[in-house]
Amino acid sequence: METSTMDPKERNEAVKEAMLLKKMDHPNIVRFQEVFMTRKCRLCIVMDYADGGDVHQEIKRREGKLIQESRVLEWFVQTCIALKHVHERKVLHRDLKTQNIFLMATGQIKLGDFGIAKVLEATKDYAKTMVGTPYYLSPEIIEDRPYSFKSDVWSCGVVLYEMATLRHPFDADSLVILAGKILRDQHPPVVGYSEPLNGLVNKMLAKDARLRPTISDVLDTAFLQSSMAAVNTKYALGLDLSMHAAVAAAAAPPREMRVAPEDSDSVLMATMPVHDHPKNDDDYEEEEFEDYEEDEEEEPHLEFGQSVVRTAPSAGLGAGAVGGKAESLRNYLCSQVTSQEFRKAYTLVRTVGQTDGLQQQVSDVIGSDKAPELLTLFQLLIFLEDVAATSGS
């Protein structure tokens, strides 16, 4: 990743952060083998190779055929186990998505790119990283409010939903509309899977971060215990699961299972409900990187225009932080095109809005090779500018 535009302090912080992540050692996490800086100020990170691709690729290969619930849960619990290890070390993942959940040929899950968003934040590569992640952004991050480990839990809930349905819980043709849906809409229910799985998705995708479970709470869920024990044995993870099993056993009543035929992609159907499990006393799960306001906040009122979401000001919405991100993105775009091309493309995206011919119009200005990627970035820039403007008004 390029660090030449960073000042020495920022560059040292990026290297320090990468070196810290290099020490993360867990069987469900992609290892950093080497971290070094080149003479041209490129930060290079050498990681383990995942020979089974990633979960996103596997979902695409399904071509609409649902994945058996037992496999979904096998992937999901390994992802949660890895995320718990990360959170215990007071590290936020910040870029959790199916593209960052890697598969080994054996079926073992490896969580990758954790913390990389923090390393990238001060570099021009951060703009590129943001393009692929809007589907997984939590409401508090979209509104630029203080966020905690619960933001990763939201993203993990999106991942579980995607594993089960093969699609995102919130989808739209533009970043602006997508952001609005994440903030105000309810996701469609998960169809064809057990009620406990559906209930867990609902809890993890609670709009209010305070209502979401911690990742430890998720792993305490009764119906996940058999999957956790299975992967612990199958992949020789060497984990002590007694605490999770004890909490789950104390909370869950007896249940009966209906087992689907082995020759189909049907799923295990459980009849027991999902329970609210008592929280652990793990302080790290409640710690935040910024002070989170516990007082009730008024829900932002959204008004949708042609190409902009207007958000009525609400407590905690930081215009300065959003404006800073917009400025970084603007600088990156200016480095990719001429000043004249930037003005023309920016004006087009700002005034034309979402139309079928917008990409072609932008292509005519900046070239067809750059248009697909940069159009999305121009839309993101306008979104950030408008959020910053309304927040500061």
Domain co-membership, 267 together with 355: no
Active site residue 144: no
Domain co-membership, 230 together with 345: no
Comparison of pLDDT for 287 and 101, the residue scoring more? 101
Domain co-membership, 265 together with 373: no
222 pLDDT above the threshold of 60? yes
Domain co-membership, 382 together with 358: yes
Mean pLDDT value of segment 7-20: 75
pLDDT for the residue 145: 85
Domain of 12?
Answer: 8-286
Residue 292 lies in a domain: no
* Tokens linked to 370: 């750059």
- Given CA atoms 42, 372, 349, 303 in this order, what sign does their dihedral have? negative
Residue 274, sorted as left (phi over 0), alpha (psi -120 to 50) or beta, turns out to be: beta
Residue 297 lies in a domain: no
234 pLDDT above the threshold of 80? yes
Q: How many CB atoms lie within 10 A of CB 64?
A: 6
Q: What is the mean pLDDT of the chain?
A: 77
Domain co-membership, 220 together with 353: no
- What CATH number is given to the structural domain containing 98? 1.10.510.10
| Residue at which a domain ends, from 286, 316, 350 | 286
Domain co-membership, 181 together with 310: no
Q: Is 193 helix (H, G, I), strand (E, B) or coil?
A: coil
361 pLDDT above the threshold of 70? yes
pLDDT for the residue 115: 58
pLDDT for the residue 322: 65
Q: What is the pLDDT of residues 38-65, one digit of tens each?
A: 887 787 878 888 899 999 999 999 999 9
Q: pLDDT grade, residue 118 (50/70/90)?
A: low
Domain co-membership, 231 together with 112: yes
Residue 1 lies in a domain: no
Q: How many CB atoms lie within 10 A of CB 256?
A: 8
Mean pLDDT value of segment 156-177: 93
pLDDT for the residue 149: 92
Domain co-membership, 326 together with 371: yes
pLDDT for the residue 120: 53
Residue 37 lies in a domain: yes
pLDDT for the residue 102: 96
Q: What is the pLDDT of residues 78-97, one digit of tens each?
A: 999 999 999 998 888 888 99
Number of domains in the chain: 2
Residue 195 burial by Cβ neighbours in a 10 Å radius (0-12, 13-18, 19+): middle
The pTM assigned to this predicted structure is 0.66
Residue 324 lies in a domain: yes
- Percent of the chain at pLDDT > 70 equals 72
Mean pLDDT value of segment 188-209: 97
Lowest mean pLDDT among 3-12, 68-77, 97-106: 3-12
Q: What is the DSSP string of 172-192?
A: -SSHHHHHHHHHHPPPPPP-S
> Distance (Å, rounded) from C-alpha 344 to C-alpha 365?
7
Spot the catalytic one: 7, 48, 51, 95: 95
| Residue at which a domain ends, from 286, 318, 335 | 286
- Percent of the chain at pLDDT > 90 equals 39
pLDDT for the residue 392: 55
pLDDT for the residue 78: 98
* Tokens linked to 286: 């409640």
Q: What is the pLDDT of residues 290-337, one digit of tens each?
A: 433 334 333 333 322 233 333 333 333 345 566 777 887 888 889 889
Mean pLDDT value of segment 193-212: 97
Q: Tell me what percent of the chain is helix, strand and coil, each rounded to the nearest 5.
A: 50, 10, 40
* Tokens linked to 301: 């009122």
Q: What does DSSP assign to residue 287?
A: -
- One-letter amino acid at 9 equals K
- One-letter amino acid at 182 equals I
Comparison of pLDDT for 357 and 296, the residue scoring more? 357
- One-letter amino acid at 333 equals L
* Tokens linked to 268: 């295990």
Q: pLDDT grade, residue 133 (50/70/90)?
A: low
Q: pLDDT grade, residue 349 (50/70/90)?
A: confident
| Residue at which a domain ends, from 241, 259, 286 | 286
> Distance (Å, rounded) from C-alpha 388 to C-alpha 384?
6
Lowest mean pLDDT among 63-67, 142-146, 204-208, 255-259: 255-259
Residue 105 lies in a domain: yes
Helix runs in 185-302, H state only: 195-204, 215-219, 225-234, 242-251, 283-286
Domain co-membership, 235 together with 353: no
Residue 383 burial by Cβ neighbours in a 10 Å radius (0-12, 13-18, 19+): buried
CB 370 within 8 A of CB 334: no
Q: Which of 249, 284, 274, 309 is nearest to 160 (CA)?
A: 274
Residue 176 lies in a domain: yes
Domain co-membership, 128 together with 268: yes
Q: Is 148 helix (H, G, I), strand (E, B) or coil?
A: strand
pLDDT for the residue 311: 34
Lowest mean pLDDT among 7-16, 61-70, 162-171: 7-16
The tally of CA atoms less than 13 A away on the side-chain side of residue 9 is 0
Q: Measure the CA angle with vertex 52, ends 48 and 53; round to 5°.
A: 80
pLDDT for the residue 357: 80
Question: What b/e sequence results for 331-364 when a residue is b if at least 16 CB atoms lie within 10 Å of its CB, and e otherwise?
Answer: ebbeeebeeebbebbbebbbeebeeeebeebbbe
Residue 293 lies in a domain: no
Domain co-membership, 71 together with 37: yes
Comparison of pLDDT for 111 and 319, the residue scoring more? 111
Domain co-membership, 18 together with 66: yes
> Distance (Å, rounded) from C-alpha 64 to C-alpha 34?
39
Q: Is 295 helix (H, G, I), strand (E, B) or coil?
A: coil
